[in-house]
Chains A and B, each alone.
Chain A
Amino acid sequence: MPARVTVEEVERVAELANLELAPDEKPRMVSDLNAILDYVAELNQLDTSGVAPLAQVTELAGGTGDLRPDCIRPSLDRSAVMSQAPETDGAFFKVPKVIERS
């Protein structure tokens, strides 16, 4: 099934990714994405029925992706972190208002 992504679909995906494309960026992005998606469609040539997806390479060596114990350890000093904030009152990050959805 050849990919023919439209401008509307690119806009929808951009919204999901919190990106706002400028009008002059859109045509180029549509054609680039289509070229890439046409290329990756080659994967459909392969029969992968019964093949389990591989998310972590350590699985192949029997690793189970163990998580560390959930225990609290000292982290970064808050003042050091807040020193990098674009806008802060020292304790919180200040941001523009969130619109209430009705």
Chain B
Amino acid sequence: MPTTETFAEKPKSLAELRSELESGRTKAADLAASYYDRIAAVNPRLNVYLALSKDRAVEQASRIDALASKGDPLPPLAGIPVGIKDVLVMRGAPATAGSKILEGYRPPYDCTAVARLENAGAVLLGKTNCDAFAMGSSNENSAYGPVRNPVDPERVPGGSSGGSAAAVAANMAVATLGTDTGGSIRQPASFCGVVGVLPTWGRVSRYGLIAFASSLDRIGPFAANVRDAATMLAVIAGYDPKDATSSEQPVPDYAAVSDQPAEGLRIGVPAEYFAEGLDPDVRAQIEKGIDALRAAGCTIKPLSLPHTRYAVPVYYLIATAEASANLARFDGVRYGYRSNSSDTLSAMYRNSREEGFGAEVKRRILLGTYALSAGYYDAYYGKAQQVRRILAEEFLRAFADVDVIVTPTSPVPAFKLGEKTGDPLSMYLADIYTVTASLAGICGVSVPCGTTPAGLPVGMQILASRFQEGTAFRIARAVEGAVL
């Protein structure tokens, strides 16, 4: 039975908005104002935004309007309203990372990816809600309340970048930035019916990203269509001297690459992603998507990635171990929440962290600390790192024979709020199709692939080898263009 209450609304494309701004039919200031009106109307129900940056947005919009009225050439994202996930810092705007432990914190610097969007003319609307420290698959771990899926507000938007995905799905931003460590861009993109990009690890600078698991974290865009997502990626990608792990690989014009037809590309379909546990409605939609790719002239090759089932345990050991180290800095000393009633320094650390961190964050810190502790390191963390190499090499071998690998993004469509919160392990298993690419460092896109009979969005995940985002975009355009 299709839902009766929906906030789903598709933003206009970058091309259409650019044409309106260049011609003077629309002013950037009015565009920004209309987005703030939309946010005021629907944010109380959807809880997408945690903070708004109106002053900065208005100033940027008037700067763009001045350029447009002089007839000066406009930068690539001129006047485009965007939302920023709250684990990415914006100078002067609050950054909570979805947690109480950073309540009130105002960063003194900008995340590089955010600064690049602004330098390209984007209007930064505000900070979007997310699972605390990006730990979650439903946006139910936010200390500031869950985000509701615009398609059906009784359901989750996915996580951890639930706010950023929902913002695009509800036209509360034209595009947004999220982050993906184990699936946190791709899965909410699929639950909300928007495009989400997982860039290759190192493609986008992590400077200004509040770290969860450094060997896995990526910043990436959400947009309403593939070409716009590709445009966003080109703006934020590229070497940054402030992130020594950012790659010096040149950044292609991803939007132009995505215009190239998919004909002739070889598509791997791994059996392990189409086995037990996959919802039959999701399977049916992905199969329609694969048929569309066949019709577009792609070669479909079945293949096997036999170690897929070990990816979730490997991920939850490596990610939690790295998180236990990255979250050690939240101790009440230099920023964020400090507990009042502590006599000694060590009591202050313990109380601030106990009071500031939520249950899921504490659970993961404890798991990670355990996996790294003396006597357990080899059995848990060490073992996981070995299996990580096996998983990564399995993808390398597969990409010798195919250009992309196509799977469902998630085994299920958006579930109901509260449905999985009682069982952390069942929530972790929801990541089963996304954590593999995270561990291997490769890139991918989740593209809308129709809906279930009940009207819930289904996402197709398109994976490509490192720095082959362009190929993934070409396939995504072919899926997007088909009637599914």
Please determine whether B344 and A98 come into contact, CB atoms closer than 8 angstroms.
Answer: yes
Residue-by-residue, is A47-62 near B (CB-CB < 8 Å gives 1, otherwise 0)?
0100111111110110
B13 within 8 A of A: no
Residues of A within 8 A of B314 (CB): 43
Q: Is the CB of A29 within 8 A of B385?
A: no
Q: B354's contact among A13, A21, A53, by CB below 8 Å, is which?
A: A21
- When C-beta atoms are compared, the residue in chain A nearest to B359 turns out to be A25
Of residues 340 through 390 on chain B, the ones whose CB sits less than 8 Å from some CB of chain A are 342-351, 353-354, 357, 359, 362-363, 365-367, 369-370, 373, 380, 382-390
Taking a contact as CB atoms under 8 Å apart, the answer to whether B366 and A10 are in contact is: yes
Chain B nearest CB, measured from A72 CB (Å): 14
Contact (Cβ within 8 A) A33 B363: yes
Q: Is the CB of B366 within 8 A of A58?
A: no
Q: Which residues of A contact B380 (CB under 8 A)?
A: 40
The smallest beta-carbon distance between A81 and chain B, in angstroms, is: 6
Interface string of B132-155 (1 = CB under 8 A from A): 000000000000000000000000
- Closest A residue, CB atoms, query B380: A40
B441 within 8 Å of A (CB atoms): yes
Residues of A within 8 Å of B316, CB to CB, are 36, 40
Q: How many A-B residue pairs have CB under 8 A?
A: 169
Q: B349 contacts which chain A residues (CB < 8 A)?
A: 18
| A38: nearest chain-B partner, CB-CB | B425
When chains A and B are docked, how far (Å) is the Cα of A9 from the Cα of B375? 12
Residue A46 is within 8 A (CB to CB) of chain B in the complex: yes
CA gap between A28 and B428 in the complex, in Å: 17
The minimal Cβ–Cβ distance linking B23 to chain A, given in whole angstroms, is 41
Q: Are A46 and B387 within 8 A (Cβ)?
A: yes
Taking Cβ atoms with an 8 Å cutoff, the residues of A that contact B are 5, 9-10, 13-14, 16-22, 25, 29, 32-33, 35-37, 39-40, 42-44, 46, 48, 51-58, 60-61, 65-68, 76-77, 80-81, 83-87, 93, 95-99
Check if A43 sits within 8 Å of B353, measured CB to CB: no
Q: List 30 A-B contacts (CB under 8 A).
A: A5-B370, A9-B370, A10-B366, A17-B366, A19-B365, A20-B351, A20-B354, A21-B354, A33-B366, A36-B316, A43-B317, A46-B390, A53-B382, A53-B386, A53-B388, A57-B392, A58-B202, A60-B441, A68-B244, A80-B108, A81-B334, A83-B108, A84-B108, A85-B333, A86-B332, A86-B335, A86-B337, A87-B338, A95-B332, A97-B345
Taking a contact as CB atoms closer than 8 A, the residue among A40, A76, A97 that contacts B344 in the complex is A97
A39 contacts B338, C-beta separation under 8 Å: no
Do B342 and A96 touch (CB < 8 A)? yes
A36 vs B424: C-alpha distance in the bound complex, in angstroms? 8
Q: Are A32's CB and B363's CB within 8 A? A: yes
Chain B 171-202 near chain A by CB (<8 Å), digits 1 or 0: 00000000000000000000000000000011
User: Which residues in A have their C-beta under 8 angstroms from that of B353?
Assistant: 17-20
Residues of B within 8 A of A46 (CB): 307, 310, 387, 390
Q: Chain B contact residues (Cβ within 8 angstroms of A): what range?
A: 35 or more
Q: Which residues of B contact A44 (CB under 8 A)?
A: 383
Contact among B317, B335, B344, B357 for A99, CB-based, below 8 A: B344
Contacts of B365 in A (CB 8 A): 17, 19
Please state if A84 and B369 are interface contacts (CB–CB under 8 Å): no
Given contacts A25-B362, A57-B201, A85-B335, 18 further A-B contacts (CB under 8 A): A19-B350, A29-B366, A42-B310, A48-B390, A51-B386, A52-B386, A53-B389, A55-B215, A57-B215, A57-B392, A57-B466, A58-B202, A66-B244, A84-B335, A84-B336, A86-B332, A86-B338, A96-B343
> Across the interface, which residues of B come within 8 angstroms of A56, CB to CB?
215
Measured CB to CB, the closest approach of chain B to A6, in angstroms, equals 12
- Complex: chain A residue closest to B393, CB-CB: A60
Q: Most chain-A CB neighbours within 10 Å: which of B336, B349, B386?
A: B386
Given A46-B390, A95-B345: A40 and B350 interface contact (C-beta under 8 Å): no
A-B residue pairs, 4 tightest by C-beta: A57-B441, A53-B385, A80-B108, A54-B389
